[in-house]
Amino acid sequence: MPRRPGGYLIGRKNFKMLPAPPDEGIIRWVIPSDWAMTEKEQAPKGRDPDYTAVGLVGLWYPDPKVPVNVNLIIAAVEREQMRIENAKRFVKRFALKVQTKIQKQPSIMAAQDNIDTVALDGLRGDPEMLSWVIRSIPRRYMPGDKVVKSEPWRSRAVAGRVYLVNDSWWGTSWNEAFLLEAEGFPKAAHDDQIDMVSVGWRFFALAKPKKKAKSYQG
C-alpha cells in the first residue's frame, strides 16, 4: 500500500536527528525487543513474515532539574526475519555491542506474549547473559492495540521530543528503514520497529528512575 505523503500518524519531519547520544544531562537506557520466529525463505509463498526487532532506546533529561523537558532517544535499531534460535543469538549480539558502545548493561525488555516469553527464557539461560536484567512486561500493563500502545511516544514525536541517532554512530544503516515504517504505520506491512519502541516507552513509564544515576538499568 502506498504511503501517505508525510505519514499517516507521524512522519520523518517529526523526528529530530543527533550525530551521537548526547553527553549532557541524564539518560536512562533500555534494550526493548519485539520477537518473531520465521525466516523469509521458510514463509508460505507470497507471505512476508514479521521481523525480530531490537533497539537501544533512552529517556534523556537534558536538565535533570526540569524533568518535564524529557526526550526519547532511539539510538540504534536492528531487525531480521529469522527463526527463534537465530533471533536469540541476534539479540545477544546486539546487547553485547550496546555494552561496548555505552559501557553499560541496560535491561532487555519485551512484551509478555507467547513467543517473546519463550525467547527471553532462552536468552536468560545463556552463560554470557547471566549478569543482564532480562524481563517481560505483563499484558495488563500494555493494554490496547498497536496504535494505542504507541500513542504516548508518537505524541512526543509530534511535539518534537523524539530523537534518532544517526546510523553512522551504530555502524549499520537503520534510519531510513525505521522512518519508512513510521510513515506507513499503522497501514504498512510491518510494524515491528514501532512495537519495539512502544515496549521501551512502557518500560520507562513503569520504572522508577534512580537518583543521581547516569543510566537506568532496571
Q: Strand 71-80 relative to strand 107-111: parallel, antiparallel, unpaired?
A: unpaired
What would the grid cell of residue 191 be? 510494524
Q: Strand 16-18 relative to strand 71-80: parallel, antiparallel, unpaired?
A: unpaired
Q: pLDDT category, 178, cuts 50, 70, 90? A: very high
Q: Which residues are CB-neighbours of 138 under 8 A, at least 6 positions away?
A: 112
Q: Is the pLDDT of residue 208 over 70?
A: no
Q: Is the pLDDT of residue 215 over 60?
A: no
Distance between CA atoms of 40 and 83, rounded to whole angstroms? Answer: 9
Q: How much is the pLDDT for 46? A: 52
Q: How much is the pLDDT for 7? A: 74
Q: How much is the pLDDT for 40? A: 53
- Of the candidates 30, 82, 80, 36, the one whose C-alpha atom is nearest the C-alpha of residue 58 is 30
On average, the pLDDT of the chain sits at: 88
Q: Is the pLDDT of residue 68 over 80?
A: no
* pLDDT digit string, tens, across residues 107-145: 999 998 778 888 899 999 999 999 999 999 998 999 999
- C-alpha angle with apex 86: 82 to 90, nearest 5 degrees? 95
- Percent pLDDT > 90 in the chain is 73
Domains of the chain: 12-206 (3.30.420.280)
